[in-house]
A = this chain, B = another copy of it.
């Protein structure tokens, strides 16, 4: 049984730990600590009532209609045919990679960033061109330079694990300079001050992806969407599985984006917690990066992050320890509930004290 050599050689993407017991404090995978809008449950109940025996609408039309309405208030061009829905934004990142990248091509992305970009390139048999961030979390000009065989670039914006963001004007400059499509992965954009939503209208090469996992508390439901010019969406749609979104996630995601009051309240709660957590971590001596996401990236000058991770884990608190070859390491802490963050801070105080 011979899988492709690039697959055999891969280690495979290892997602953050997902203990199912529920007794630990989980600040490791940037989930929203609050429940989703109650309207989601009601919508799911209605789908169950109608029945699950029929295939879903293949293009998640209901979601696209409502999302286009909302997004067009920010960017008037956007209509439903600018939107492609996916089984989480990972599904969209996969679809995009398969549409543009052949074995031997090059995929560019920053270092450190979302490790899945490495995995997607490896599965495709492509070469990874990792461009290290500058010390101030800007990108060197090299990121937008031409290179033979370069077929796709990913930019998580806000970035993970740093939580930093490049302003839309800079992202547009990058997209314009690049000889290939640029995916602006906005998984965390709802926690940021600005977005790149208007960029696809200005440049055909920009594809913005978003997820319902974080700001809408729907990581368990798997729903994301991409925004690009219609002729781009049309090509990407050929690569998706026919029924990549199920009937329940379509209804749930549509109900979630529709409940603006719930979204706004959860968002501002998390932003307040992030601010407080950041200040408290600095108080404890951590070097933290200012965050535009629902997490904080930090290091303590006196304690290696791997040790901190282990000691917190032993105390029932999961954070994400990340080590990037040829770059460095640190811990990424999700902004949980205020109680969870208090437990974290108390524990850190006792570890460091």
Contacts and interface: CB of A to CB of B under 8 A. Distances in A.
B242 A116 contact: yes
A3 B88 CA distance: 22
Nearest to A266: B53
A48 B44 contact: yes
A21 to B, nearest CB: 11
A20 interface: yes
B231 A1 contact: yes
Contact of A32 (B20, B35, B48, B53): B53
Nearest to A231: B1
A41 B31 contact: no
B55 A15 contact: yes
Interface stretch (A128-136, A154-162, A244-252, A319-327): A244-252
Interface string A193-208: 0000000000011000
Contacts of A3: 99-100, 235-236
A20 B57 contact: yes
A244 B13 CA distance: 13
B7 A237 contact: no
A152 B15 CA distance: 29
A248 B44 contact: yes
Interface stretch (A68-76, A164-172, A212-220, A296-304): A212-220
Interface in A1-59: 1-4, 7-8, 10-13, 15-16, 18, 20, 26, 29, 31-36, 40-41, 44-45, 47-48, 51-58
Interface residues of A, number: 81
A271 interface: no
Given A1-B181, A220-B247, A54 B41 contact: no
Main secondary structure on chain A at its contact with chain B?
loop
Interface of A: 1-4, 7-8, 10-13, 15-16, 18, 20, 26, 29, 31-36, 40-41, 44-45, 47-48, 51-58, 61, 87-88, 90-91, 94, 98-103, 116, 123, 125, 151, 180-181, 204-205, 213, 217-222, 229, 231-232, 235-239, 241-249, 252
22 contacts: A1-B181, A3-B100, A3-B236, A18-B55, A18-B56, A20-B57, A32-B53, A40-B48, A41-B48, A44-B44, A51-B220, A53-B217, A55-B219, A87-B244, A91-B244, A94-B241, A98-B123, A102-B125, A221-B248, A246-B246, A246-B248, A248-B248
